[in-house]
Chain A
Amino acid sequence: MNAPSNPSPVRPNDYSAYPDANGRFGDYGGQYVPETLMPLVHDLDAAYSAAKADEGFQAELAGFLTHYVGRPSPLYFAERLTAHYGGAKIYLKREELNHTGSHKINNCMGQILLARRMGKTRIIAETGAGQHGVATATVCARFGLPCVVYMGAVDVERQKPNVFRMNLLGAEVRPVTSGSATLKDAMNEALRDWVTNVHDTYYLIGSAAGMHPYPVMVRDFQAIIGREAREQILEAEGRLPDAVVACVGGGSNAIGLFHPFLNDAEVKIFGVEAAGEGLDTGRHAAAINGGRPGVLHGNMTYLLQDREGQIEEAHSISAGLDYPGIGPEHAWLHDVGRATYLSATDTESLEAYSLLAKLEGILPAIESAHALARLPEITKEVGKDGIVVLNLSGRGDKDVAAVAAHLGMEI
């Protein structure tokens, strides 16, 4: 399939009807994987469809989400932040209060139960910030399964506390030195492991990215965020929000929040990509704002790449957003105009990080701080009587060393 050079898609009536049977969101998605893996992704697709329709599976997952993860997460009215910007009311969906400190555990719990159902005995994962690695190591510890986490050597260096946490949880962290030694290379290495260990291994992907069925499966497991937020805002305000906002790396926390609102035309949707040192410097991680469609890691989506199609390194202060692609559903939501993708620089995100700490007593993950950084514009656009729900995807303790370094301080 050719990269869509002049996208002029038709607006679909029902956004929740995607992907199609081939795992496509419009032109995006699909299963561009080596032949060795095709039977495995087909198996996974069938196993996931069966589990999704199985009430027993859903009840088991709901039980763990309540008693182990700590759901539902609160929807918190950020009064002082709202007053600070002087625009729309800001609600924070507190995913950082989940067990392990981010939204990643929602997906990990769903996938580990699926892996067990499929009889898999070994779990592998890739991680950037280490949040997904920690969440994977956690569920593997809980269910007694061996766990190997691939992590770019650069990220191992800048997220040391998370590496230590994974080790404590019994996981083996394998630093990846190939390529740019960050998240995309960790994903390459995990795929190489999977293609080598086809019989016993389950690949637990951490974002709504990669080949079908991962984008739809991870979205479904994360959509609990949006379903809860919808109920909670109706309870608190008696109406839907005017806008929902989330940061976008691969796009799992964002699609989890967005998906239950896709068919509510009155709800504006904003994703925030990492602009690194600035979109015009070329040193960023904004696949939609600074890339174009292509094929990587099993799917057609927006990618940072050169004219020839070689993948370019992403750059962001946030290891969790430091990925040259984006989940295919976001690529499609962008093309059809249902969601708007903004960006925030390293500096803007650091400022938002400090601001939330001072005004609300919450340290946000530097990833989530990218979404916070666009609140001035979004709360203004929505206006004083409006309501904005922002996904606080993770807690910021892991980032204090990096933040201190950027502020020129030693801790």
Chain B
Amino acid sequence: MSKARIDARFAALKAEGRAAFVAYVMAGDPDAATAAKILAGLPAAGADLIELGFPFSDPMAEGPPIQRAAQRALKNGMTLQGTLDLARGFRAGDVTTPLILMGYMNLIVTCGIEAFARDAADAGVDGVIVVDCPPEEAGPLADALDAAQVSLIRLATPTSDDLRLKTIVRRTSGFVYYVSVAGVTGVKEADAAEVAPHVARVRAASGLPVAVGFGIKTPERAAAIARVADAVVVGSALVDEIAEAVEMNEDVTQRVLSKVSSLAKAVRSARVGQTTV
């Protein structure tokens, strides 16, 4: 069922001739109740897919914004099981928007790989991205997720040559996530012209839609990427809105969702008057 939800969403968007907008938020940021409200509001605000981070104490590929988001979430008691509860709650109110979990290997190993895969499927999760689990280490996880019909979504990067891409796309489904810059999340800025040939390469190697993320912060840049990729992922910029809203004592949910709206609008209008890719 789960892989089908991702495939159906990308097929529908292809028919519409536009790229997907993917919103990344951290489970439990700033707290579980607010995160649940944000999640519930994301589809209406324009998120076509959702990536839900589960917080880890030592997120080695994350820049300061998402590091701090993880710390806020952990401080307020968020766990992997709590993340799955958020997913379940979201799924109860939305049966079409694909939901992807994103995080680090140690929590999955601690939970038990098979148990994690079953629990994720049961909570209505459609895909999983594990930042520190490259194909070489992913055998058991790929087996467990396959059995649970959850997609294992892989990362391709500027350092992935054609040979490496072959390894990356083996046993992947749903879509491939192209990390647009060599670096951590939320620091360097992605350049659409630079990214375009890589997206084409990854699409050709995988036969799957390609989402581009890392370093997309503004509606302008989101639109530029939407012209060359199948999906645009924004994370750090949303997480920063949460941090600022908390600090300024503003309505966190409203502030994040309005940012999502402006980014989604940019993605939706990016290809108007352009032939579809």
What is A's interface to B at a CB cutoff of 8 Å? 1-3, 22, 30-40, 178-179, 184-185, 188, 191-192, 195-198, 293-298, 300, 303, 305, 307-311
**Chain A residues with Cβ under 8 A from B168's Cβ?**
35
Q: A198-B159, A309-B107 are in contact. Are A35 and B56 (CB under 8 A)?
A: no
Q: A295-B106, A311-B58 are in contact. Are A38 and B183 (CB under 8 A)?
A: no
Which residues of chain B from 121 to 157 have a CB within 8 Å of any chain A CB? 131-134, 136-137, 139-140, 154-157
Beta-carbon contact of B161 and A39 below 8 Å: yes
- Max count, chain A CB within 10 A of own CB: residue among B106, B154, B161: B106
A308–B133 Cα gap in the complex (Å)?
18
Beta-carbon contact of A298 and B106 below 8 Å: no
**Chain A residues with Cβ under 8 A from B110's Cβ?**
3, 294, 305, 307-309
A294–B58 Cα gap in the complex (Å)?
13
Residue B67 is within 8 A (CB to CB) of chain A in the complex: yes
Residue B80 is within 8 A (CB to CB) of chain A in the complex: yes
CB distance from A199 to the nearest CB of B (A): 8
**Chain B residues with Cβ under 8 A from A39's Cβ?**
159-161, 164
Q: A195-B184, A296-B58, A310-B74 are in contact. Are A31 and B109 (CB under 8 A)?
A: no
Beta-carbon contact of B58 and A188 below 8 Å: yes
A191–B60 Cα gap in the complex (Å)?
7
Chain B residue nearest in CB terms to A312? B57
Can you name 16 A-B residue pairings with CB atoms under 8 Å? A1-B109, A31-B137, A32-B105, A32-B134, A33-B134, A35-B156, A35-B168, A36-B61, A38-B159, A38-B164, A192-B183, A195-B182, A198-B158, A296-B106, A308-B110, A309-B107
Please name the 9 residue pairs, one residue from A and one from B, whose CB atoms are nearest each other, closest first.
A309-B110, A196-B183, A36-B157, A35-B155, A310-B57, A309-B107, A34-B61, A295-B105, A309-B106
CB distance from B256 to the nearest CB of A (A): 23
**Chain A residues with Cβ under 8 A from B104's Cβ?**
295
Residue B89 is within 8 A (CB to CB) of chain A in the complex: no
CB distance from A35 to the nearest CB of B (A): 4
CB distance from A162 to the nearest CB of B (A): 24
**Chain B residues with Cβ under 8 A from A293's Cβ?**
109
Beta-carbon contact of B132 and A308 below 8 Å: no
**Chain A residues with Cβ under 8 A from B62's Cβ?**
192
What is B's interface to A at a CB cutoff of 8 Å? 56-64, 67, 74, 79-80, 104-107, 109-113, 131-134, 136-137, 139-140, 154-161, 164, 168, 179, 182-184, 187-188
Beta-carbon contact of B58 and A179 below 8 Å: yes
**Chain A residues with Cβ under 8 A from B184's Cβ?**
192, 195-196
Q: A192-B60, A192-B184, A196-B184 are in contact. Are A40 and B109 (CB under 8 A)?
A: no
Beta-carbon contact of B109 and A2 below 8 Å: yes
A294–B111 Cα gap in the complex (Å)?
11
Beta-carbon contact of A179 and B134 below 8 Å: no
- Max count, chain A CB within 10 A of own CB: residue among B61, B64, B107, B168: B61
Beta-carbon contact of A36 and B179 below 8 Å: yes
**Chain A residues with Cβ under 8 A from B154's Cβ?**
35
Beta-carbon contact of A31 and B60 below 8 Å: no
A298–B80 Cα gap in the complex (Å)?
20
A35–B56 Cα gap in the complex (Å)?
18
A397–B238 Cα gap in the complex (Å)?
49
Chain A residue nearest in CB terms to B144? A2
Beta-carbon contact of A294 and B137 below 8 Å: no
**Chain A residues with Cβ under 8 A from B105's Cβ?**
32, 295
A30–B140 Cα gap in the complex (Å)?
14
**Chain B residues with Cβ under 8 A from A298's Cβ?**
132
Known pairs A35-B160, A305-B106, A309-B110; list 6 more (Cβ under 8 Å).
Answer: A22-B136, A38-B134, A184-B58, A188-B58, A294-B109, A307-B110
Chain A residue nearest in CB terms to B136? A31
A32–B104 Cα gap in the complex (Å)?
10
**Chain B residues with Cβ under 8 A from A309's Cβ?**
56, 80, 106-107, 109-111
**Chain B residues with Cβ under 8 A from A195's Cβ?**
60-61, 182-184
Beta-carbon contact of A2 and B140 below 8 Å: yes
A3–B112 Cα gap in the complex (Å)?
8
Chain B residue nearest in CB terms to A2? B113
Chain A residue nearest in CB terms to B55? A310
CB distance from A202 to the nearest CB of B (A): 15
A196–B56 Cα gap in the complex (Å)?
21
CB distance from B159 to the nearest CB of A (A): 5
CB distance from A150 to the nearest CB of B (A): 12
A297–B133 Cα gap in the complex (Å)?
11
Chain A residue nearest in CB terms to B157? A36
**Chain B residues with Cβ under 8 A from A185's Cβ?**
58
Chain A residue nearest in CB terms to B74? A310
CB distance from B148 to the nearest CB of A (A): 15
A30–B135 Cα gap in the complex (Å)?
12
Q: A196-B184, A196-B187 are in contact. Are A34 and B58 (CB under 8 A)?
A: no
A39–B80 Cα gap in the complex (Å)?
30
Chain A residue nearest in CB terms to B141? A1
A348–B181 Cα gap in the complex (Å)?
49
**Chain A residues with Cβ under 8 A from B140's Cβ?**
1-2
CB distance from B4 to the nearest CB of A (A): 26
**Chain A residues with Cβ under 8 A from B61's Cβ?**
34, 36, 191-192, 195
Beta-carbon contact of A38 and B136 below 8 Å: yes
- Max count, chain B CB within 10 A of own CB: residue among A22, A293, A295, A307: A295
Q: Which listed residue (B63, B139, B159) contacts A36, Cβ 8 A?
A: B159
- Max count, chain A CB within 10 A of own CB: residue among B140, B155, B159: B159
**Chain A residues with Cβ under 8 A from B182's Cβ?**
36, 195-198
**Chain A residues with Cβ under 8 A from B106's Cβ?**
294-296, 303, 305, 309, 311
Q: Which listed residue (A33, A191, A196) contacts B188, Cβ 8 A?
A: A196
- Max count, chain A CB within 10 A of own CB: residue among B113, B160, B182: B182
Q: A2-B113, A192-B61 are in contact. Are A310 and B56 (CB under 8 A)?
A: yes
A33–B110 Cα gap in the complex (Å)?
18
CB distance from A39 to the nearest CB of B (A): 5
**Chain B residues with Cβ under 8 A from A198's Cβ?**
158-159, 182
Chain B residue nearest in CB terms to A197? B182
